[in-house]
A and B are shown apart, each in its own frame.
Chain A
Amino acid sequence: AQKVTQAQTEISVVEKEDVTLDCVYETRDTTYYLFWYKQPPSGELVFLIRRNSFDEQNEISGRYSWNFQKSTSSFNFTITASQVVDSAVYFCALSEGDQTGANNLFFGTGTRLTVIP
């Protein structure tokens, strides 16, 4: 069975601080994909990144970086020099592979990040 755990329910940081959001996943599949989405107060889920199970390279995009470690089943997300606009709920999600190619997403419960000016 698949599961995504985001143990941090809420995090508050002061602007310009770095913050890391944790994500731990469980799956029996060898082929799977991991995602991060941002949900600002407006409510719309915004795609941030996708990672497949065969690519453990870390990725950096501007102030965002992701650390994927299969050995610990973790896919953590770091925001460097946080800004007020980063305040949102962040979701980690897992998509498993199967023969039909179905890729419905299993989401964690989210981490609410508040950046204080």
Chain B
Amino acid sequence: DTGVSQDPRHKITKRGQNVTFRCDPISEHNRLYWYRQTLGQGPEFLTYFQNEAQLEKSRLLSDRFSAERPKGSFSTLEIQRTEQGDSAMYLCASSPSVGISDTQYFGPGTRLTVL
């Protein structure tokens, strides 16, 4: 079974630029989550999808952030006009959609550095 994959693993960008990250979940996992993790902290929830529908967004997800999962398979997270405060590890996780008991399996993350 292939795990969750994320691309790229590292991204360095200049302030003001747009960046896009991709997440490929475990096949047949209906739910896909995005989290952000800053240094010394636990991951913080950003948003999640049930198939292609985006069902919940955290208040952390400002207007500069947008996420899509167009065909219910892979997902993209775009950050527009990046700021230095966006520097973090962006984690993707997936789970099967059976109630709330399902375990989320995480990808390796994309580390974003905004200069």
Mark A residues whose CB is within 8 Å of B.
Answer: 4, 31, 33, 35, 37, 42-47, 50, 52, 91, 93, 95-98, 100-110
Contact = CB atoms under 8 A, between A and B. Distances in A.
21 contacts: A31-B100, A33-B101, A35-B103, A44-B107, A44-B108, A45-B106, A50-B101, A50-B103, A52-B101, A96-B100, A101-B100, A102-B56, A103-B99, A104-B45, A104-B48, A105-B33, A105-B45, A106-B45, A107-B44, A109-B40, A110-B42
Contacts of B28: none
Contacts of B93: 45
Interface residues of B, number: 29
B96 to A, nearest CB: 11
Nearest to A37: B106
Interface of B: 33, 35, 40-45, 48, 55-56, 58, 89, 91, 93, 95, 97, 99-109, 111
A102 B101 CA distance: 10
A100 B44 CA distance: 20
Contact of A102 (B35, B42, B55, B106): B55
Given A47-B106, A50-B103, A110-B42, 10 more contacts: A37-B106, A93-B42, A96-B100, A97-B99, A97-B100, A103-B100, A103-B101, A103-B104, A104-B48, A105-B35
B23 to A, nearest CB: 13
Contacts, number: 71
A50 B100 CA distance: 11
Contacts of B100: 31, 33, 95-98, 101-103
B103 A45 contact: no
5 smallest beta-carbon distances between A and B, as pairs = A107-B42, A45-B106, A104-B45, A103-B100, A44-B108
Nearest to B97: A101
